[in-house]
Copies of this chain bind each other. A is one copy, B any other.
Amino acid sequence: MIVVMKPNAPEQSVNTVIHIIETNGMTAHLSAGKEVTIIGVVGDKTKLDTRSIQAMSDVEKIVNITESYKLANITFHPDPTVISLKHTSIGPENMTVMAGPCAIESEEQIMSAAKAVKEAGATILRGGAFKPRTSPYSFQGLGEEGLKLMQQASLETGLDTICEVTSLKALDLAVKYVDMIQIGARNMQNFELLKEVGKAGLPVLLKRGLSATIDEWLNAAEYIMSYGNSQVALCERGIRTFETATRNTLDLSAVCVLKEKTHLPVIVDPSHACGVRSYIAPLSKAAVACGADGLMIEVHPDPACALSDGAQSLDFPEFHNFMKELKTFTILAGRVY
């Protein structure tokens, strides 16, 4: 941490800052210059409340040098995390494909989807039972009935399953039926839910918030991990920008940044990011080329009749071709599926 004093800050203010730092068990290094005076702070700053320094009128700004997340930090945990599920695992050698409908609509729909995505090579079945929808008048999901269908689909196909939870109540239900919990973009900073998911113990896929920085995202993962759950994967799903040609702007450089900052696996969801069916294949290949550990793809037996996000869903033959096309890129990335 570095404290930058305002130009012409009186010596007394500088000494006060140094005093605060040192009484908190840290070391202060003073660099007094004609233009500016800076104080380097070295030591364990968790004991120090930096805000008390920041609020002083002679302090220009505080620059943080080290990240506030520890458990998610690659510096302290250089080996890539492997997430172990019943039938598969997410991690450095696998290319995990999570596929299925945006929302679970009926037994027939989810069963046919499960079989189709399994056959094409996916290892995890996705499907929403609790849908966070912008308008209260939109379809909100089948709830527990949907979860039971996911369990059934898993039993029949050998796929692991993932389902988004949007509340503690939904979480309590989901842990009974599915293999992995998803936290959606809108709940990335629902810290109370993150804590509960941390305690629940099931592997978690944490989606990036609509306008979350990578640093905030890793701190959100830290919430889950600090409550005892280290089985966390991150999912890039596009960020909000001024561009309107795509639903969101898929930030593939985030995959590169994450690979340098964290040991957690990184999944990319091109379906939600772009919202346009024809962009899913090229963006998926791009994600694999960037080092992603997996993909999340919307697949629906009949996109034109989907109750949610039909415009960005692939139908079964499209998904089959998609997986075939992707194969070479997967091999090139040194991965298997």
Contact = CB atoms under 8 A, between A and B. Distances in A.
A100 B167 CA distance: 30
Please tell me how many copies of the chain the complex holds: 4
A29 interface: yes
A98 interface: no
Given A55-B310, A65-B38, A219-B136, A189 B192 contact: no
Sort chain A's interface into a size bin: 35 or more
A290 interface: yes
A226 B49 CA distance: 42
A46 B213 contact: no
Interface string A107-139: 000000000000000000000001011111100
Nearest to A67: B135
B242 A242 contact: yes
A66 B193 CA distance: 34
Interface string A253-292: 1111100100000000000011010110011011111110
A94 interface: no
A332 interface: yes
Contacts of A75: 7
A201 interface: no
A246 interface: yes
A77 to B, nearest CB: 14
Contacts of A222: 135-136
A310 B52 contact: yes
23 contacts: A2-B4, A4-B65, A7-B75, A27-B33, A29-B40, A31-B40, A32-B42, A33-B43, A35-B42, A40-B40, A63-B63, A132-B189, A135-B219, A136-B219, A136-B222, A136-B226, A241-B241, A242-B242, A246-B257, A249-B253, A285-B290, A289-B289, A289-B329
Given A246-B253, A249-B249, 4 more contacts: A35-B65, A167-B193, A245-B254, A253-B279
